[in-house]
Structure 1
Amino acid sequence: MFGYNPYLLKETLREAKQLRPDRDVQALQRAVRLFERALLLGRVGRLWSVVLGRSHHLAALATVEARVTISDRFYAGTYAVPLSRIRGSEGRSGDFDLAFRPLQSHSRERWLGVAIACQQGVALPPVELIQLGDVYFIRDGHHRVSAARALGQGYIEAAVTVWQVAGLLPWEQPMPLRTVRRTAP
């Protein structure tokens, strides 16, 4: 169904210094299955979101930044962050859905390389996140987060920068009440 570039995959594995032919094949096969499943679920989710009139994309940091006043920014350190709290992206909100499933096949090679490295226990650099309240936006490491979720991990190592805002964040603001009109029977 999808083609892959074995040269890019081999280079990724060589860089990781983890070349073991038997494990490489198994890891590749599992990574391909995971990617194809995630891509299919992402595309099906996109169709359902159109039918239901809901957004399935990650929140765009630029949109949030335009609606708030940032009072301070500081580096908070590197620590494990729950994958479920990463809800937005700095620049790639259209490439992944809310569950971090890929929506485009163009990221396949990178995704496979990351998934194989994760399966083989290769230490990958921490992802870079921006924290706003209790929500995280990803700056760098989209494929690492996507592969980690597909592999069933609950947390990911992240270098976190906190943005403090003056006032409420958009998702903390009270929702307006909707009036329900009754019609006579």
Structure 2
Amino acid sequence: MFPTGNTHMDAQRAFDKASRAQRRSAIVNRLRRQCAECLRLQVHDTTFRAVRHASGVKEIPLEEISATVEPARARQFDADFRPSGKRTRARWERLWVAEQRGEVIPPISVVRTHAGYAVIDGHHRVSVAKSRGAITIDAVVSAA
């Protein structure tokens, strides 16, 4: 995707591209007769409110983020953190524009799980970072 010079238009195009990729993946999944649950963002069941230990900010690989602790967010993003609806569009585009301008984005909050990390706060930031091709993201990691 070539930048147009208009960051808001570029953000809209980036969201549309990510949203189309999510829909395309769902269609391919149905045609292959694979389980619908395979594409959904997994919900990590934890009582993360009683966190025992929180480390400082560190970089974690985006590919290791595989779940969320909020069931409502699991409906807004697929397993690859692609946005699945218009409800996420405004915030997603604002974050994309902020990142394009080089603004400081706060770190996400995650909890360590047996399969990687589950997002507590920062679902849109993860989605934008993945769509922009980032490899790592700043995060505050908590132990479950």
Query: Matched residues, percent identical?
Result: 29
Q: Does 2:26 correspond to 1:46? A: yes
RMSD: 2.1
Could you tell me how far apart the structure 2 residues matched to 1:78 and 1:134 are? 20
Could you tell me how far apart the structure 2 residues matched to 1:76 and 1:58 are? 25
Residue type of the partner of 1:82? Answer: P
Deviation at residue 29 of structure 1 after TM alignment: 1.8
Residue type of the partner of 1:88? Answer: A
Residue type of the partner of 1:81? Answer: I
Q: Which of these two proteins has the greater Rg computed from alpha carbons?
A: 1
Please list every run of 5 or more consecutive structure 1 residues that lacks an aligned counterpart in the other structure: 1-24, 67-71, 164-185
Provide TM-score, normalisation by structure 2: 0.84
Question: For 1:86, which of 65, 82, 85 is the aligned residue?
Answer: 65
Secondary structure of 2:90's counterpart equals helix
Instruction: For residues 30-85 of structure 1, give each alpha carbon's deviation from its aligned partner in whole angstroms, at most 9, with x where no partner exists.
Output: 211110010011112122233332310111012xx49xxxxx73112210111111
Could you tell me how far apart the structure 2 residues matched to 1:134 and 1:56 are? 16
Provide TM-score, normalisation by structure 1: 0.67
Please list every run of 5 or more consecutive structure 2 residues that lacks an aligned counterpart in the other structure: none
Could you tell me how far apart the structure 2 residues matched to 1:122 and 1:155 are? 17
Equivalent residue number for residue 182 of structure 1: none
Which portions of structure 1, spanning 4 or more consecutive aligned residues, are displaced by more than 4 angstroms? none
